[in-house]
Structure 1
Amino acid sequence: MERDQNKLERAKERLEELKGFYWHLASYIGVNSFISISTIIGRMNNGADFLEVLDFGTFAVWIFWGIGLFFHGMKVFSYNPIFSKEWEKRQIQKYMEQDKREAEKFGRHGR
């Protein structure tokens, strides 16, 4: 029964993480759309043509906030190409072997 409770708690945590990501995504789209449209309209009202409006400054927030959103998504969807499950298994095996060697070495000197 306690095991089922732990599974339920983990599922609820996972759901909250997912909801948080989707709220982050919705905020990203809404806020950045508003900023970009306001910037474009404001610059065009000041006499800039359409190509002058499309500079780095217009889309900088999209880019930098997008980087943060990307990493948030990687965390939520458990995608980590650097520290994958296979990498974790190899590291655990390596440390277990090191501990075993240390224990054997200590055991020999203790005789």
Structure 2
Amino acid sequence: MGNEDKYLRAKKRVENLKAFYIHLTVYCLVNIMLFVINLMTDAGYWWFLYPLGGWGIGVLVHGLTTFAHGNFGSEWEERKIKEYMEKDKKDI
């Protein structure tokens, strides 16, 4: 793997990390706003917990895919890329 490939992979990881932090920040700000609205409307129940939990699952999955160091880390990606390239060679 050349330096250019390493640079492009590192750049992609940084972009993914930045996207996750933006997602997390928006999640926090929006859910704080929903909490305040829930307090002000006196709905009688905590409805803001539903978007908090649902969206929270999405943030959790985004975080797991961003910070994956186990089975789905960069080594796994490389193996899969090589596997598909080999398969394409055989199909041609």
- TM-score > 0.5 by shorter chain: yes
Aligned to 1:94: none
RMSD over equivalenced CA pairs, Å: 2.0
Q: TM-score, normalised by structure 2?
A: 0.70
Greater relative contact order, per chain length (Cα 8 Å cut-off, separation 6+): 2
Larger radius of gyration: 1
Identity rate, percent: 32
In structure 2, list runs of 5 or more residues that go unmatched. 77-92
Give the counterpart of 1:62 among 52, 56, 59: 52
Aligned to 1:75: 65
In structure 1, list runs of 5 or more residues that go unmatched. 89-111
- TM-superposed CA distance for 1:25, in Å, is 0.2
CA offset digits 1:37-69 (Å, max 9, x no partner): 1111121xxxx6xxx44x3x2311110000000
- TM-superposed CA distance for 1:79, in Å, is 4.8
Q: Any runs of at least 4 consecutive aligned residues in structure 1 with deviations exceeding 3 A, and if so which?
A: none
Q: TM-score, normalised by structure 1?
A: 0.59
Alignment-mate amino acid for residue 27 of structure 2: Y
CA offset digits 1:65-102 (Å, max 9, x no partner): 0000000000000156xxx26xx7xxxxxxxxxxxxxx
